[in-house]
Amino acid sequence: MIKIKLKDGSFKEFESGITIFEAAQSLSEGLARNACVGILNGKTADLRTKLDQDCELNILTFDSDEGKRALRHSASHILAQAVKRLYPETKLAIGPATADGFYYDFDRDPFTPDELESIEKEMKKIVKENIKIERFELPRAEALKLMSDADEPYKVELINDLPEDAVISFYKQGEFTDLCAGPHLMSTKPVKAFKLTSVAGAYWRGSEKNKMLTRIYGTAFTKSEDLKQYLERIEEAKKRDHRKIGKELGLFTFMEEGPGFPFFLPKGMVLKNTLINFWREIHEKEGYVEISTPMMLNRKLWETSGHWGHYKNNMYTTVIDDEDFAIKPMNCPGGLLVYKSSQHSYRDLPLRMGELGLVHRHEKSGQLHGLMRVRCFTQDDAHIFMTPEQIKDEIKGVVHIIDEVYSLFGFKYHVELSTRPEDSMGSDEDWELATNGLKSALDELGMKYVINEGDGAFYGPKIDFHLEDCLGRTWQCGTIQLDFQLPMRFEAEYVGSDNEKHRPIMIHRVVFGSIERFIGILTEHFAGNFPTWLAPVQAIVLPISEKYNDYSKKVTEMLKAASIRAEADLRAEKIGYKIREARHSRIPYLLVVGEKEAQSNMVSVKSRGEDLGTKSIEDAVSDIKYDIDNKLIKEVKLSEENKK
């Protein structure tokens, strides 16, 4: 007999050799029916895994992230099986689960809409057949023979790349067999609600040197209603696409002369500078000083920092006077040079240095996506130099700033602690001290967080903040990285209270992450209906006819005198057309003026589709100023014309 500790802390005895699925059956038929995957001693495990010793076990359903991945991974195999049934000449590549669904890569010409429809119908048949999914393992030679006989060259390549002692596992459902590590469901039946969403090209193994494959994307749920809601969110996301709205509002553009390099237009610069001014306000309040470092520095610096060895493929380089230079992909080495430019005492610490630095990183063309993935962006960096005793308080201070900013925009967020990656530098002791420093700060703040094993920076562990927008999508923006390595590599020092030289500890942190990307996120979150304090144009004056143009100019000047970004629409157009245009431009306040308003120094105020009535110019200015000064956020929805 073996003893198993369950999620609720209770213990239950089972016969040795029982599977996780059989354990679920003994606990509850309902649990077994809905089980997707197990967590065995803290690690994800297939439901077919045999239990032969005392352990901790948590059986998860689709409601968990791991459960969703298992079901959607099974959906990708159902997709591949359907494709092989209909188009047997197709070669299989890979088909993992993703954050919101799954995909499978095929070596075949792109599928037509009619073919996608046929594949979906075949997938429904496979689900209805309730085919048992079985797992088996083979030695390397037999695994290679199986995939060679099946004429699956991509699978053969994957097997050849596995370690000699690797366990090579396969999953079989009916006539279909696939090389896969799993985990998977017990049968095809639970994949009841799915949809193939798009087709795209994808290079084999992500390399432009390899063949372009055809990728089919899809998503899957256990309930049709959940699928319906997801598809509605996808449609809403399309309407909120920042690239579409950015073009409509004249915020930014991209040109073929600079792929991946955004051009900000006048109204976009107003938005960007407003965010930057806000950044400066909160950082000045929190005791930061601002610096600026060169965009290009020589190879020696990047070798010292470790970027030349760890990050060179993502850097743009050039040669000046027979010496290698690189455009900075990060601001931190320059910040260290600034720190070293003068002597420091323990009394100077913590020293908080902020920098809005333009950085450049080489991203593959296929990965570029509007402002979300670009090749140059403004990173709202700050580097904090401190003593070991100051670590916790400084991390708490950064968390406070990030919380203040995200809360202001109405974002929820969750926190991940990323630990040491394989490609790292520094001693085990330093990494342990740094990781424990981040953990203890989060614990003292009472913040919930999850461990993201092996995803830290090459020089230190980090805390990542993933914000959630109004559509439920998550974006990684803020980060806090604790670094013992770069101060050591740059020989940074301070004089301690013992009058001896010591090495400072360094925090790298961003709040927005990339200002450009944050603008993209805000644009989609608010559907272009930015809070008044952020809006490029905060108020527009609309005369009902040309007779009231002079009065409109007067009102506009009063608004501008109060530091309100205002315009007047003096075109010879009907007032209904002007109002529709202003709403389509997402201008927060519309001030309509006609004979009655001009005679009484009044304005008729509309905001976000709501009629606020007739007010004196002074009261209208006061209301708008209150909205701006308090950075109010009102619930906004897409207007009917913006839904088109």
Concatenated DSSP letters of 492-507: --EE-TTS-EEPPEEE
411 and 468 in contact (C-beta within 8 Å)?
yes
604 and 597 in contact (C-beta within 8 Å)?
yes
Choosing from 215, 360, 361, 586, which is the catalytic residue?
A: 361
Distance of alpha carbon 538 from alpha carbon 352, whole angstroms: 34
Choosing from 46, 380, 381, 569, which is the catalytic residue?
A: 381
Residue 333 CA, distance from chain mean position: 25
Distance of alpha carbon 208 from alpha carbon 365, whole angstroms: 9
Residue type, 429: E
The pLDDT of residue 635: 57
| DSSP codes of every residue in 335-348 | HHHHHHTS--BGGG
Type and span of the H or E element at 79: helix 65-86
Choosing from 184, 307, 373, 383, which is the catalytic residue?
A: 383
Distances (CA, A) of 182 to 23, 57, 93, 141, 186: 19, 18, 15, 21, 11
Distance of alpha carbon 372 from alpha carbon 120, whole angstroms: 31
Q: How crowded is residue 316: how many other Cβ atoms within 10 Å of its Cβ?
A: 15
Q: Which fold has domain 539-643?
A: Rossmann fold (3.40.50)
- Name the superfamily (CATH) of residues 2-61: Beta-grasp domain (3.10.20.30)
Q: Is 242 annotated as catalytic?
A: no
Distance of alpha carbon 70 from alpha carbon 97, whole angstroms: 8
Q: Is 73 annotated as catalytic?
A: no
**Full-model pTM:** 0.81
Choosing from 48, 462, 509, 606, which is the catalytic residue?
A: 462
The pLDDT of residue 237: 87
The pLDDT of residue 476: 87
Distance of alpha carbon 619 from alpha carbon 631, whole angstroms: 18
Choosing from 48, 73, 508, 608, which is the catalytic residue?
A: 508
Residues 6+ apart with CB under 8 A from 111: 119, 199, 214, 216
466 and 474 in contact (C-beta within 8 Å)?
yes
The pLDDT of residue 107: 97
Q: Which residues pair with 611 in a beta bridge?
A: 606
Q: How crowded is residue 624: how many other Cβ atoms within 10 Å of its Cβ?
A: 23
| DSSP codes of every residue in 233-299 | HHHHHHHT-HHHHHHHTT-EE--TTSTT--EE-HHHHHHHHHHHHHHHHHHHHTT-EE----SEEEH
Distances (CA, A) of 48 to 24, 180, 185: 11, 14, 9
Residue type, 551: Y
Backbone angles phi, psi at 468, to 5 degrees: -115, 125
Residue 376: which of 516, 542, 473 has the closest Cα?
516
Q: Which fold has domain 252-294+347-525?
A: BirA Bifunctional Protein; domain 2 (3.30.930)
Q: Is 383 annotated as catalytic?
A: yes
The pLDDT of residue 456: 86
- Look at the alpha carbons of 20, 21, 26, 31 in this order and tell me if their dihedral is positive or negative: positive
Q: Which residues pair with 346 in a beta bridge?
A: none
- Name the superfamily (CATH) of residues 66-230: Threonyl-trna Synthetase; Chain A, domain 2 (3.30.980.10)
Token pair of 108 as six digits: 């075949």
Collect the ranges in the chain with pLDDT lower than 50: 636-644
Q: Is 508 annotated as catalytic?
A: yes
Q: Is 376 annotated as catalytic?
A: no
Distances (CA, A) of 281 to 163, 367, 395: 54, 34, 20
CA angle centred on 550, ends 548 and 552, rounded to 5°:
70
448 and 392 in contact (C-beta within 8 Å)?
no
Choosing from 379, 481, 485, 538, which is the catalytic residue?
A: 379
Choosing from 184, 215, 240, 332, which is the catalytic residue?
A: 332
Residue 92: which of 217, 213, 249, 228 has the closest Cα?
213
Residue type, 48: R
Distance of alpha carbon 271 from alpha carbon 264, whole angstroms: 10
- For tokens 């390549």, name the residue: 157
Residue 448 CA, distance from chain mean position: 19
Query: Where are the domains positioned within the chain?
Result: 2-61, 66-230, 252-294+347-525, 539-643
Q: How crowded is residue 290: how many other Cβ atoms within 10 Å of its Cβ?
A: 14
CA angle centred on 317, ends 314 and 318, rounded to 5°:
170
